[in-house]
A and B are shown apart, each in its own frame.
Chain A
Amino acid sequence: MSAVIVTVGDRPIREVNKEIRAALAEGNAVTVQDTRSRHNLGIGLPEGARLRFEGSVGYYCGGLNDGAHIEVERNVGWSAGEAMAKGEILINGYAGMSVGASMRGGLIHIRGDAGPRCGVAMKGGDIIVEGKIGYLSGFMAHAGRIIALGGAAGACADSLWGGEVWVAGPIESLGVDTKVVEPSAAEVTSVEALLADRGLGSNAREWQKIVSAERLWHFESRDAGAWLMI
């Protein structure tokens, strides 16, 4: 069945989203046109929904995603896929600040670069960035994985609680309370398998796996260094 087309233009977002949801509810895939970088498109969509944006979108695209498969042809603004529980978001262009903020599951795949605070406070799931991840990416992440193929900007993985940031390529600087560890062969296999699934297989990558150094985990730390960080 061919996709239903919904046009954004300068219509009220509520109207556009209603139309999208109605079309999805009838089992159609939906293509959204004339997107004009507008905000709040495709919020809280359920499993089975398939949605494609032909163009760039604004903030919170695919926010609270609950299983939908969303593709954006160009760029997304801030916080795409924020608080996502499950599903998949594919962004062909650039992802603005805080992509995947506090997400809990599912996959976000960005073909371009990601802006600052990529995966901030994430609680699960995976973010793959073919380009570079921005300043303070992975900040205070609790769980989940960020995989950056094109390097990372400054303060990478700052204040990580848990979770992992995998970087191939140069890291401008590491954030507070991080350490780079040697990944096990099994872990590397797992990451590479995920990437291969996304058409990004390679034998040639050198990984730096960043995890929490756990010095900020406890207040009773006697290490002045750990405390002066804050």
Chain B
Amino acid sequence: MADDLKTPYEYPFELPSEEAVAMTDGGIDGRPAGVPSSYEQGKSVRWTPESISEVHALSRLGRYQIRGFTTFNHRMPTFDDLTFVPATMTRLPLEGYRESCDTKTVLGGGTGLVEKPLELDIPIYIASMSFGALSANAKASLGYGASKVGSMTCTGEGGMLEDERSASQKLVYQMTPSRYMLDLEHLRMADAIELVVGQGAKPGTGGLLLGMKVSERVARMRSLPEGVDQRSTVRHPDFLGADDMQVKIEELREATDYQVPIFLKMGATRPRYDVAIAAKAGVDVIVVDGAEGGTGASPELLIDHTGIPTISAIRAAREALDDCGMTGKVSLVAAGGIRSGTDAAKCLALGADAVMIGTGALMALGCNSPRYFDDYAALGTAPGKCHHCHTGLCPVGITTQEPELEVRVDVPAASERVARYLTAMTMEITLLAKACGKSSVHNLEVEDLRALSLEASAFTGVKMAGIDKTYSW
């Protein structure tokens, strides 16, 4: 491939300066080309400030833009397009403050192959986010907070951090295609193993960590030179397809003596088929991460233009499991833009057995909190609109490797916030469940929801409000 570029074209003039390419002539400080805020909104629906600045940015960079956070795509149906229809005359609600509602959640017990299925006190746990993308303090706080409420966390692409293992009572160990820090001992220390084939923010591609976050510690853990822009492979190096994956899963079970559940995490693209295949390949738990899922760094085009909405993915995943007789045998976890107990409850109603939160947990740690305003401003952003995780200069110390910033995550305080957030989410779920007459959050079902838009009904199969019919073709 590189050999094809043997005869580079040469301009008949000297190479331009970077300033000239960046169109700084006639410009003013604070309004550079390539940043949407430098432009005013015109009448064109196509050429918005975002689109124009994108062209200017790409013309300067010669590559796609990279950022963190979640999708900016306004066009997808989301949780807010669904509403609950609690009990009225046709059924009885349970008393919100007295009659109990079970939240205990068991994952991985259905196939009968696992000695120690995961038992959580609540149907929510904290998603995998790598050490590298996150600071060590952030990882530890997530662990303590989750442990306090009987939940669990996941390692991420960076491998298992000692701080996280000691902080988390239950820890899922992630095996990503890059295999950073993959260690047999860690595998055996984990409460579950998660094979990753993709994530909701950027399905079909691998992990990314920019050089400014590849600190000495991170570099050592990832066997990379310091400061290199780390890009992971998208495929696992040792199996190439669902048909081989079955053999791989057996290997992992052998390595852990069939003690712990095997998870498979995927981004939501064709969940109806992907989930069926994964179930047949022999995993215990399937995690489906919708397009609203977050990331520490990704080419932005992927975040905005790949994957399908979480609400549409869950329904398809559940129907896939039903169709191949795996409901009850394989657990289903939903992720991707879950912000609250309400969103989580909707996921359960749509068919998930549990939910995973990533960005929400970071918010509890302090992401986008109104503090350290100058540091936000230095990045060209402000609390409420910051999405600059990829820069490694997180003003609140979460997605950074800089020691001076990392200390802004006060571990005890942040842990407590996470614990309270998870508790509040659980309260929200049980309140909704009891209003719908359920003695267990796991008994929420599609019938408890109504769609507030045609799209939401079409995408999820949830009945339209009032008319009580699903949109059909």
Query: Measuring CB to CB, which residues of chain A are less than 8 angstroms from any residue of chain B?
Result: 13-14, 17, 39-40, 43-44, 58-60, 63-64, 66, 78-79, 82-83, 85, 98, 101-102, 104, 117, 120-121, 123-124, 139-140, 142-143, 161-162, 173, 176-177, 216-219, 222, 224-225, 227-229
Task: Kindly report which residue of chain A lies nearest to residue B21, judged by CB atoms.
Answer: A222
Query: Which A residue's beta carbon lies closest to that of B177?
Result: A121
- 21 A-B residue pairs with Cβ-Cβ distance under 8 Å, sorted by A, are A13-B250, A17-B254, A40-B247, A44-B255, A63-B255, A64-B255, A78-B238, A78-B244, A82-B237, A83-B179, A85-B183, A101-B237, A102-B182, A102-B238, A104-B223, A143-B223, A173-B3, A217-B229, A218-B228, A218-B229, A229-B2
Which listed residue, B238, B239, B258, touches A14 by the CB 8 Å rule? Answer: B258
The complex places the Cα of A124 from the Cα of B221 at a distance, in Å, of 12
Are A162 and B225 in contact, with the CB atoms below 8 A? Answer: yes
B420 in contact (CB, < 8 A): no
CA distance A20 to B45 in the complex (A): 68
A73 to chain B, nearest CB (A): 21
B179 to chain A, nearest CB (A): 4
User: Which of A58, A64, A227, A228 has the most chain B CB within a 10 Å cutoff?
Assistant: A64
Q: Which residues of the partner chain A approach B2 to less than 8 Å between Cβ atoms?
A: 176-177, 225, 229
Residues of A within 8 A of B237 (CB): 79, 82, 98, 101-102, 117, 120-121, 139-140
For the complex, is B233 an interface residue (Cβ under 8 Å from A)? yes
Q: Which of A39, A64, A225, A228 interacts with B187 by CB under 8 Å? A: A64
Main secondary structure of the interface of B (DSSP, over half): loop
Closest-by-CB residue of A relative to B64 is A219
Q: How far, in whole Å, are A127 and B1 apart by their CA atoms in the complex? A: 26
Known: A40-B250, A79-B238, A176-B2. A227 touches B255 (CB 8 A): no
B228 engages A217 (CB within 8 Å): yes
B346 within 8 A of A: no
Task: Give bound CA distance, A64 to B185, whole Å.
Answer: 10
How distant is A66 from chain B, measured CB to nearest CB, in Å?
Answer: 5
* Measured CA separation A159–B250 after assembly (Å): 30
* B236 smallest CB distance to A (angstroms): 8
B62 to A217, Cβ gap below 8 A? Answer: no
Q: Which chain A residue shows the least CB distance to B4?
A: A228
Q: Which residues of B contact A176 (CB under 8 A)?
A: 1-2
Residues of B close to A140: CB separation below 8 A: 233, 237
- B211 near A: Cβ within 8 Å? yes
Query: Do B233 and A121 have beta carbons less than 8 Å apart?
Result: yes
- In the complex, what's the smallest C-beta–C-beta distance from A41 to chain B, in angstroms? 9
Residue of B nearest to A42 (CB): B254
Determine whether the beta carbon of B224 is less than 8 Å from that of A162: yes
Residues of chain A lying within 8 A (CB to CB) of residue B114: none
Residue numbers in A under 8 Å from B89 (CB-CB): none
- In the complex, A79 Cα to B244 Cα: how many Å? 11
Q: Are A123 and B179 in contact (CB under 8 A)?
A: yes
Closest to A85 in B: B184
Q: Which residues of A contact B210 (CB under 8 A)?
A: 219
> How many angstroms from the CA of A64 to the CA of B222 in the assembled complex?
17
For the complex, give the distance between the alpha carbons of A143 and B180 in Å.
Answer: 12
Closest to A121 in B: B237
**Across the interface, do B63 and A83 meet the contact criterion of CB distance under 8 Å?**
no
User: B253: which A residues are within 8 A, CB to CB?
Assistant: 14
Which residues of chain A are near B185, meaning CB under 8 Å?
66
CA distance A120 to B5 in the complex (A): 26
Q: How far is the CA of A154 from the CA of B331 in the complex (A)?
A: 43
A52 CA to B223 CA, complexed, in Å: 31
When C-beta atoms are compared, the residue in chain B nearest to A119 turns out to be: B237
Nearest B residue to A82, CB-CB: B238
Closest to B225 in A: A162
Instruction: Type the 1/0 row for B259-302, where 1 means its CB is closer than 8 Å to any CB of A.
Output: 00000000000000000000000000000000000000000000
Whether, in the assembled complex, B70 has its beta carbon less than 8 Å from a beta carbon of chain A, the answer is no
Q: Is B363's CB within 8 Å of the partner chain A?
A: no
Binary interface encoding of chain B residues 176-195 relative to chain A, with 1 for a CB under 8 A from any of its CBs, else 0: 01111011110110000000
B244 contacts A59, CB within 8 Å?
A: yes
What A residues does B248 contact at CB under 8 A?
60
Q: Check B62–A229 contact: CB distance below 8 A.
A: no
Q: Which of A60, A176, A228 has the most CB of B within 10 A?
A: A60
Least CB distance from A115 to B in Å reads 12
Is there an interface contact between A59 and B247, defined as CB atoms closer than 8 Å? Answer: yes
Residues of A within 8 A of B8 (CB): 224-225
Closest residue to A224 on the B side, CB-wise? B62
Give complex CA distance A85, B184 in Å. 8
Report how far A217 CA is from B228 CA in the complex, Å: 5
- A82-B237, A121-B233, A143-B223 given; A39·B255 CB < 8 A: no
Question: From residue 200 to 242 of chain B, which have CB atoms closer than 8 A to chain A?
Answer: 210-211, 222-225, 228-229, 231, 233, 237-239
Which 3 residue pairs across A and B have the least CB separation, nearest first?
A79-B238, A102-B179, A101-B237
B446 interface residue per 8 A CB criterion: no
Report yes or no: A98 in contact with B250, Cβ–Cβ below 8 A: no
Choose one: A17, A66, A162, A219; the contact of B63 (CB below 8 Å). A219
Q: Closest residue to B254 on the A side, CB-wise? A: A43
Contact A222 B228 (CB under 8 A): no
Measured between beta carbons, the chain B residues less than 8 angstroms from A177 are: 2
With A117-B237, A142-B224 already in contact, 20 other A-B pairs whose C-beta atoms are closer than 8 Å: A14-B258, A39-B247, A39-B251, A60-B238, A63-B251, A101-B179, A104-B223, A121-B178, A121-B237, A123-B223, A140-B233, A143-B223, A161-B228, A176-B1, A176-B2, A217-B225, A219-B63, A219-B210, A224-B5, A224-B8
Cα(A179)–Cα(B201), bound, Å:
34
Shortest CB-to-CB span from B23 to chain A, Å, is 17
Q: Is B66 an interface residue (CB 8 A)?
A: yes
Given contacts A218-B229, A224-B62, whether A13 and B254 have CB atoms under 8 Å apart is yes
Q: What's the nearest-Cβ distance from chain B to residue A219, in Å? A: 5
Bound-state Cα–Cα, A102 to B8, Å: 36
Shortest distance from the beta carbon of B63 to any chain A beta carbon, whole Å: 6
B254 surroundings in chain A (CB, below 8 A) = 13-14, 17, 40, 43-44
Check A228–B5 contact: CB distance below 8 A: yes
- In the bound complex, residues from chain A placing their C-beta under 8 Å from that of B177 are 121
Neighbouring A residues of B250 by C-beta, 8 Å: 13, 39-40
